[in-house]
Structure 1
């Protein structure tokens, strides 16, 4: 294997100029910045849970903003969970092709449950969603279920509700 050293004076010159220009920034990064920097993997970033919208006062704009930010982060997480479950189901179908109906049933059920829960929480809110609209949707759903039973089971008529 050839020698890794500098072959001629021009390479030595450019190596020296490069070390003069790059040396201070490399020293600063290795000796000052890196020892004082906390090393957090990107996937372990933790946000503290903030008060939900129902715990905020009506004039507390900062609380509304924090609750809305928390809502948006939770929505992104829920969308990623559904996306991962969909990918798992698609891979299972591709891998188990002739017998995929029997072997991928559990993954399909998990995916459908997650998709249903995602729609219950975030569906039919329109393009400009926020935490207040989602809270009102949840409140209206709870009132509906108290009066008429679970959503999708049909409405109770008066004779059933008196029993």
Structure 2
């Protein structure tokens, strides 16, 4: 009885992974679904976002910094050109706030999106992880404070 030569075995082994991957190829529906946000993600984005009826970006940046400071955050970074403000607050744990401002589609408003995360240190890792806070009260409180700050800043009070 003759044993098959090694090249045949290699050929068979080379075909097996590609055959397995072909069976795993996503359908068009699966590909489309990958780019559709879940209902939970959409609801979270709605809580994190507000539209303000002003095109004054500088006013909104100043108001954002003021609102975060009023809430006890230490401003760590501002990128005025990109509309980004980042701050942290040390309470029972470390909380990081990231706020992004961008012009509305109508050109007369500014969209503000805030994300609050608890910073979770990872032992032995150089970078800590952030877990997004989803409590609606946190976002509602921030946007109320931001609206007050924008009003006071606009009226130079």
Question: TM-score by structure 1 length?
Answer: 0.32
Which structure would you say has the larger Rg? 1
Q: TM-score, normalised by structure 2?
A: 0.33
Flag the structure with more relative contact order, 1 or 2, with Cα contacts below 8 A and sequence separation at least 6: 2
Q: Which protein has the bigger strand share?
A: 2
